[in-house]
Amino acid sequence: MARSGNGPRQPLSVKKPGTTRKAAVPKDTTPSPTAPRPRRTAKTFGQKPSQRAAPVARSPKTKAEKQAIATIVLERLTAEYPDAHCELDHHNAFELLCATILSAQCTDVRVNMVTPQLFARFPDPGSLQDAPPEEVEAIVRTTGFYRAKAKNLIGMARALVRDHHGEVPRTIGELVPLPGVGRKTANVILGNAFGINEGIVVDTHVQRLARRLGLTREPDPVGIERELMPLFPRESWALLSHLLIWHGRRVCFARKPACDRCVLADVCPSAGIDG
Ligand code: SF4
């Protein structure tokens, strides 16, 4: 007859007389951030880190650990998104500047719906600087904050004509003072219109992914950019933003990231979060 599992427990081992057992030294079983990790199963996927039986990649603590993850992120996302590029439609630096100003608090898809009409009506700074505000407002209305954006577009065009011979300047110091232009917009223009890697564009996707991957704990975009820059080769900065943005839009969603099909899951300390 089979023995019941509820009976009295038997000793696992018998200590020999005269011997002393060494105190067990607990091993640190936490894997390094880049060590291969057991695949999550349907059973463990979606559990909070505290609920998982198997350890996951811990947050990188040292610069070397962050560097190792950064290298993997760049490598794998470059392979995953070989066509990653700026998704704001444009033909020149002026159009990209207008589109980027309009993209504040708005999707690229929505911006791309209004810019063809805007660029057809006002193709250069000279024509946009004299535009009736109500006309620009009507064109950009669906991008939100349309009065402020129309005012910034016209003000930006006037500043280009007045201070830069109608050309978009190529330095961050000249771009940032333009109406509607901050450091993020300036980085977009320099990286995408001129191929100048002056900084890293930190938008909402880049902020979220950089934190989830453990590359930074900075709360604001300027601090995040400062921490990311030394981790990635300068020539990759513009591309890196596109890669993180593409991954954020397609896999690492703000709510319910699709970690089960993420190429970074084995090195990501946030894998399995609900968002
Ligand atoms: S999708 Fe999941 S595993 Fe991938 S980067 Fe985002 S949080 Fe990490």
The pLDDT tens digits for 37-75 are 444 444 444 444 444 434 467 889 899 999 999 999 999
Q: 10 Å Cβ neighbour count for 259?
A: 21
CA of 264 to the centre of ligand 1 (A): 6
Give the fold, CATH level 3, of 49-80+202-261.
Answer: Endonuclease Iii, domain 2 (1.10.1670)
The pLDDT of residue 56: 62
Distances, alpha carbon 164 to alpha carbons 126, 160, 167, 175, 176, in Å:
12, 5, 5, 10, 13
Domain ranges of the chain: 49-80+202-261, 93-193
State the virtual CA torsion across 140, 142, 146, 150 in degrees, nearest 10.
Answer: 0
User: CB under 6 Å to ligand 1: residues?
Assistant: 212-213, 251-252, 257-259, 262, 264-265, 268, 270-271, 273
Q: 203, 256, 266, 274: which one is catalytic?
A: 203
CATH number of 93-193: 1.10.340.30
- Please name the residue that has the structure tokens 């954020």: 248
The pLDDT tens digits for 90-110 are 999 999 999 999 999 999 999
